[in-house]
Structure 1
Amino acid sequence: MPTKLEQLKAMTTVVADTGDMEAIRAFMPVDATTNPTLILKAAQMPRYAQLLEEAILWGLSHNHLTSEITERLTLNFGLELTKIVPGRVSTEVDADLSFDIEGTVAKARSIIAEYEKRGVGRERILIKIAATWEGIRAAEILQSEAIDCNMTLIFSLTQAVACADAGAYLISPFVGRILDWHMKAEGKTYAAETDPGVVSVRQIYSYFKAHDVKTVIMGASFRNKEEIEALAGCDRLTISPQLLEELAKDEGDLPRRLDPKTAASHPPAKLSLDEKTFRFLLNEDAMATEKLAEGIRFFARDLRALRELVSKRLLAAA
């Protein structure tokens, strides 16, 4: 009997949600995603000290700013990931640019240019951008330049549809963080079938398939393997090494739960979103509003911590 991970790979593109290259080699996903939190964790692992040292030496020899060296470090991880996975690697734009259209576009272009300078074509990279109104508008510009975007921190159908309308290549609806909010707000636990994060992704999947939306749906931020199993068949799922290991050890049956042939039977009504409607509908959704703001704050916090780590190493090396 194939493991649940093997069964999942037969119906869903499995993506590793980590900056740990050894974990990625162990589970052989198609793609890999990173964010400031994951890079911060990986950068402090002894096995990746050389990636940090390369960025520090590069910064010292070229008299670069800490922010530029931090970007170099992130690219170092991304570059190594492209050598392991056959598909795409997602690299995140600075979280402190989440409400800056021009800044996001400029940073994304810089990231792609650096990858291309180091021999990695843009077809191997996804630029991760927070799904704010400004982030979505930046993605619309980037997609017109053949720079594919992964819209992250998605907690609502409103965000998902706005990203698709902008032509985003991929969206990352967060499952576990939605569950976290509801458990805290309502003081109750959920089975996989009633898990609000699972329900949210299923709603987005139904909408996209019913209305022939081409944007890829990649469920993210899982708290347990039952959430993953409940979304088996989703376009893509990005999964932590711990949960990949659990799936790899489980030899039970894994039925397909999402299928484009049946997902469109009771789809949500088609949305028409301008800026005012988007902002109002998002504001009406307390969970999505709070989790989006919190996610940006957390990523910005970890980006600052990563820059502080780089700054300390610069002082030590000077």
Structure 2
Amino acid sequence: MKFFIDTADLDEIAEAKGWGCLAGVTTNPTLYAKTGGKLQDFEPHMLKIAKLCEGLPVSAESTATDTEGMIEEGKRLAALAPNIVVKLPVCEAGLAACRALADAGIRVNMTLVFSAAQALLAANAGARYISPFVGRFDDIAEDGISQLGDVIACIGNYDWSGKNVDGEVEIITASVRTPNHVVQAALMGADIATVPMAALKKCVRHPLTDQGLASFEADWAKVVAGA
């Protein structure tokens, strides 16, 4: 399973990329707002991310609410850099825009997916990536991992050749809160997990690793002291 980072923060992206295991970036209006970015700087900021992650897919989300607006903004975003993927919400307008963008050879990440039915519609509309949310189900005491499993199974049942520019659909596990979400998604065969920096760092850490490192350092200090 590939790791994307879910952020619009350039420093976080650079740090995660430096670990050598980053395969892409996803952003959304909320994440951009957290950087303190201004409206006029949105597209230049997406371009900065795309250049920082050259060769890796970077999802930039349209903020339009109607089909024509999504198509227009999507084409503009896709023209910024070859690795930018247009992110659209799964809704009537989003599905129609997805089809138009896919027909124009533009990769689309369909987001805010909460059911297998929505995922199937998105794939048929030409989505290159589908982002089912996990953590938000937990927020309402429902099982997001189970819903993710349904999406993976349904999408995996079919050949999506001819539906989008690459002829394949990848599942991006989104709204990831914990390392357990990552592990469960991988066990189910999700293609990608997009993870915020805080959760990504939790995936790196383990108390037994910390204990082992402390022990090694203490033992080596004794060796140095006796030299």
Alignment gaps of 5+ in structure 2? 161-167, 209-227
The equivalent of 1:168 in structure 2 is 127
The equivalent of 1:314 in structure 2 is none
2:46 to 59, 72, 78: 78
- Letter in structure 2 aligned against 1:242: A
The equivalent of 1:135 in structure 2 is 94
How much has 1:223 moved relative to structure 2? 2.4
- Letter in structure 2 aligned against 1:130: P
- Letter in structure 1 aligned against 2:69: G
> How many residue pairs get matched?
194
The equivalent of 1:19 in structure 2 is 8
TM-score (norm 2): 0.80
The equivalent of 1:242 in structure 2 is 198
The equivalent of 2:153 in structure 1 is 206
Q: Does 1:36 align with 2:17?
A: no
How much has 1:111 moved relative to structure 2? 2.3
For the residue of structure 2 that corresponds to 1:217, the secondary structure is: strand
The equivalent of 1:277 in structure 2 is none
How much has 1:251 moved relative to structure 2? 8.3
- Supply the distance in 1 between the matched residues of 2:171 and 2:150 (Cα, whole angstroms): 11
- Measured on the aligned residues, the alpha-carbon RMSD in Å equals 1.8
2:56 to 87, 112, 131: 87
Q: Does 1:228 align with 2:187?
A: no
- Letter in structure 1 aligned against 2:144: G
- Supply the distance in 2 between the matched residues of 1:243 and 1:111 (Cα, whole angstroms): 28
How much has 1:180 moved relative to structure 2? 1.2
- Supply the distance in 2 between the matched residues of 1:25 and 1:74 (Cα, whole angstroms): 18
- Supply the distance in 2 between the matched residues of 1:140 and 1:41 (Cα, whole angstroms): 31
Q: Which runs of 4+ in 1 moved over 6 A?
A: none
The equivalent of 2:216 in structure 1 is none
How much has 1:153 moved relative to structure 2? 0.5
- Supply the distance in 1 between the matched residues of 2:14 and 2:70 (Cα, whole angstroms): 31
How much has 1:179 moved relative to structure 2? 1.8
Report if aligned partners of 2:119, 2:151 keep a CA contact under 8 Å in 1: yes
What are the superposed Cα offsets for residues 235-283 of structure 1, whole Å, 9 maximum, x if unpaired?
Answer: 111000001001112388xxxxxxxxxxxxxxxxxxxxxxxxxxxxxxx
**Greater displacement, 104-113 / 160-169:** 104-113
User: Higher relative contact order at CA 8 Å, sep ≥6: structure 1 or structure 2?
Assistant: 1
The equivalent of 2:220 in structure 1 is none
> What does residue range 115-154 of structure 1 map to in structure 2 within 5 Å?
115=80, 120-121=81-82, 124-154=83-113
- Supply the distance in 2 between the matched residues of 1:140 and 1:200 (Cα, whole angstroms): 25
- Letter in structure 2 aligned against 1:205: I
For the residue of structure 2 that corresponds to 1:231, the secondary structure is: helix
Same amino acid, percent of matched pairs = 29
How much has 1:208 moved relative to structure 2? 1.4
Q: Does 1:111 align with 2:77?
A: yes
Alignment gaps of 5+ in structure 1? 1-11, 45-51, 53-69, 184-194, 253-318
How much has 1:112 moved relative to structure 2? 2.6
- Supply the distance in 1 between the matched residues of 2:71 and 2:119 (Cα, whole angstroms): 20
- Supply the distance in 1 between the matched residues of 2:159 and 2:46 (Cα, whole angstroms): 32
- Supply the distance in 1 between the matched residues of 2:151 and 2:48 (Cα, whole angstroms): 32
- Supply the distance in 2 between the matched residues of 1:125 and 1:136 (Cα, whole angstroms): 19
Quick check: which one's strand share is greater?
2
